[in-house]
């Protein structure tokens, strides 16, 4: 039986046994996927993946080369913004003036087998980078859990994954080429335009348009990811050990549940094999059962938490193994919006506990899992992501 069927069934049984089959329906979101409609004769709207950012640019450009991009920048009018995949939840793209797409600036430029470095055009999507790098025997040391963004967007916004020994993706940039609003094309690295290089690593589009990046990679490798259900307190109490024992470790805190989902990822072993399947609709399942139980007076959230914990405790581990670029990312077919907070690593567990206690104490209407992960940094090395389904 698939995971979501099991959870739905368990919660239905719990609700029926307690309340004689009473069911409830929460209010569904009426927000349209596209927040602004298209009208004939007017500019075509641009909308981001999450559906919370939009604009109607008067001028759109999709340069296929650096020369074309330079010419576009020299003649661009008004506020100029660059866009990759449009995955960002923040207002980094919207402009009603000039919008420049980097989609055609895609592919491998060059590579160095000795240094294990590769130069890729900024418009290359992450899901294309993996196969490209694999063809030359290289791989990103780490990747986020979704691979839809463009390389330029991911790096400019300091996209990261999890792992106490791994920096955000922008930390692996060895060089870049920047096209400024004046039409200049600057080569930047630790030795060429070093100050601009440091700023342009995570410039969020404020300095111009990066056309290509040189990245420090490593040899291609296989990994095995194990998704398990563990008691939340056990994970909190053993967080340091779990992070040290695994190449990558993170967990998903589930509001009102005493269980959490752990994700441990390590180099693959010869006998590793896939077990179970990833369920991209799991968050919809959580929302569905939350709406059917949480509305009940006085005990709604308690019933949901109790039944959910019982259901999750019986879940078997899901294992995914294979090339790193295929295992790191997951399908993300449910629209959501995310806000992310960074706190010192040593305060991460205390922060997680306080968040969970606050949700329960205030009976907040939340069912979306909270991602709890680590990233290497100088001062701030812990990330918590709060997500809201749209």
Tell me how far the alpha carbon of residue 200 is from its chain's centroid.
21
Whether residue 285 lies inside any domain: the answer is yes
Residue 30 lies in a domain: no
Assess whether 97 and 138 both reside in one domain: no
- Please state, for a pLDDT cut of 70, what percent of the chain lies above it: 78
In a domain, 36, yes or no: no
Whether 168 and 250 share a structural domain? no
- Whether residue 168 is found in the same domain as residue 59: no
Angle, alpha carbons 86-88-93 (nearest 5°): 60
Query: Which pLDDT tens digit goes with each residue over 333-386?
Result: 777 888 888 899 999 999 999 999 999 899 888 878 899 999 998 543 344 444
Does a structural domain hold residue 51? yes
In a domain, 139, yes or no: yes
Q: Are residues 203 and 236 in the same domain?
A: no
- Residue 169 within any structural domain of the chain: yes
* Tens of pLDDT, residues 61-96: 999 999 999 999 999 999 999 999 998 888 999 999
Same domain membership, residue 300 and residue 318? yes
Strand runs labelled E in the chain: 46-47, 54-55, 59-61, 80-83, 98-101, 108-112, 117-121, 138-139, 173-179, 185-189, 209-216, 218-219, 222-231, 248-253, 259-267, 318-323, 336-343, 370-374, 382-389
Domain match, 132 and 186 both: yes
Percent with pLDDT over 90 in the chain: 62
Read off the pLDDT of residues 281-290 as tens digits, 9 standing for 90 and up: 666 566 666 6
- Kindly write down the DSSP assignment for every residue of 163-230, as one continuous string: BTT---GGGGEEEEEEE-TTS-EEEEESSSSHHHHHHHTT-TTSS-EEEEEEEE-EE--EEEEEEEEE
Q: Are residues 240 and 360 in the same domain?
A: yes
Could you give the CA distance from residue 57 to residue 207 in angstroms, rounded to a whole number?
20
Residue 50's pLDDT band (cuts 50, 70, 90): confident
Query: Which of the residue ranges 7-21, 243-257, 271-285 would you say has the lowest mean pLDDT?
Result: 7-21
Residues 254 and 128 in one domain: no
Of the residues 65, 85, 101, the one at which a domain ends: 101
Sheet with 382-389, side-by-side order of all strands: 318-323, 222-231, 259-267, 248-253, 370-374, 382-389, 336-343
**Which of 66, 85, 101 represents a domain boundary (last residue)?**
101
Mean pLDDT within 111-118: 98
> Does the structure show a pLDDT above 70 at 59?
yes
Instruction: Mark whether 60 and 129 lie in a shared domain.
Output: no
pLDDT at 57: 95
What global pTM score does this model have? 0.82
Pick the last residue of a domain from 219, 245, 279. Answer: 219
Q: Does 328 reside within a domain?
A: yes
Q: 98-101 and 59-61 as β-strands: parallel, antiparallel, unpaired?
A: parallel
Structure tokens at 102: 């980097």
Task: For residues 367 and 317, state if they share a domain.
Answer: yes
Residue 8 reports pLDDT greater than 60: no
> What is the chain's mean pLDDT, rounded?
84
User: Does 227 share its domain with 345?
Assistant: yes
Interval 96-109: pLDDT, tens: 999 999 999 999 99
* 38 lies in some domain: no
The total domain count for the chain is: 3
Q: How confident is the model at residue 279 (pLDDT cuts 50, 70, 90)?
A: low
**What CATH number is given to the structural domain containing 119?**
3.30.465.10
Enclosing domain of residue 170:
108-219
pLDDT of residue 282: 65
- pLDDT tens, residue by residue, 195-236: 999 999 999 889 999 999 999 999 999 999 999 889 999 999
**What average pLDDT does this structure show over 31-40?**
69
Q: Are residues 329 and 299 in the same domain?
A: yes
């Amino acid at each position: 039986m698939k995971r979501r069927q099991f959870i739905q069934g368990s919660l239905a049984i719990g609700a029926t046994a307690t309340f004689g089959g009473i069911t409830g329906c929460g209010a569904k979101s009426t927000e349209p996927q596209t927040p602004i409609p298209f009208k004939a004769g007017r500019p075509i709207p641009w909308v981001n993946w999450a559906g919370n950012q939009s604009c109607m640019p008067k001028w759109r450009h999709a340069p296929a080369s650096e020369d074309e991009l330079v010419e576009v920048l020299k003649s661009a009018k008004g506020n100029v913004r660059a866009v990759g995949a449009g995955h960002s939840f923040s207002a980094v793209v919207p402009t009603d003036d000039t919008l420049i797409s980097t989609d055609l600036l895609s592919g491998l430029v060059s590579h160095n087998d000795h240094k294990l470095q590769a130069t890729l055009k900024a418009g290359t999507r992450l899901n294309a980078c993996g196969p490209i790098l694999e063809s030359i025997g290289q791989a990103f040391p780490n990747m986020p859990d979704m691979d839809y963004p463009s390389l330029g967007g991911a790096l400019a916004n300091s996209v990261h994954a999890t792992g106490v020994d791994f920096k955000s993706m922008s930390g692996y940039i060895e060089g870049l080429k920047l096209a400024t609003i004046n039409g200049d094309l600057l080569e930047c690295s630790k030795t060429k335009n070093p100050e601009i290089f440091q700023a342009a690593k995570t410039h969020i589009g404020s300095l111009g348009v990066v056309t290509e990046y040189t990245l420090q990679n490593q040899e291609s490798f296989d990994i095995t990811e194990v998704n398990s259900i563990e008691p939340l307190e056990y994970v909190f109490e053993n967080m340091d050990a779990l992070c040290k024992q695994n190449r990558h470790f993170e967990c998903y805190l589930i509001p009102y549940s005493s269980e959490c989902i752990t994700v441990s990822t390590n180099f693959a072993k010869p006998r590793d094999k896939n077990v179970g399947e990833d369920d991209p609709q799991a968050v919809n399942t959580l929302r569905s059962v939350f709406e059917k139980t949480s509305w009940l007076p006085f005990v709604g959230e308690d019933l949901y938490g109790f039944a959910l914990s019982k259901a999750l405790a019986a879940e078997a581990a899901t294992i995914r193994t294979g090339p790193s670029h295929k295992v790191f990312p997951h399908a993300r077919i449910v629209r959501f919006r995310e806000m992310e907070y960074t706190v010192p690593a040593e305060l991460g567990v205390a922060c997680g506990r306080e968040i969970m206690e606050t949700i329960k104490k205030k009976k907040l209407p939340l069912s979306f899992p909270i991602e709890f992960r680590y990233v290497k940094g100088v001062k701030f090395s812990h990330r918590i992501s709060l997500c809201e389904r749209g």
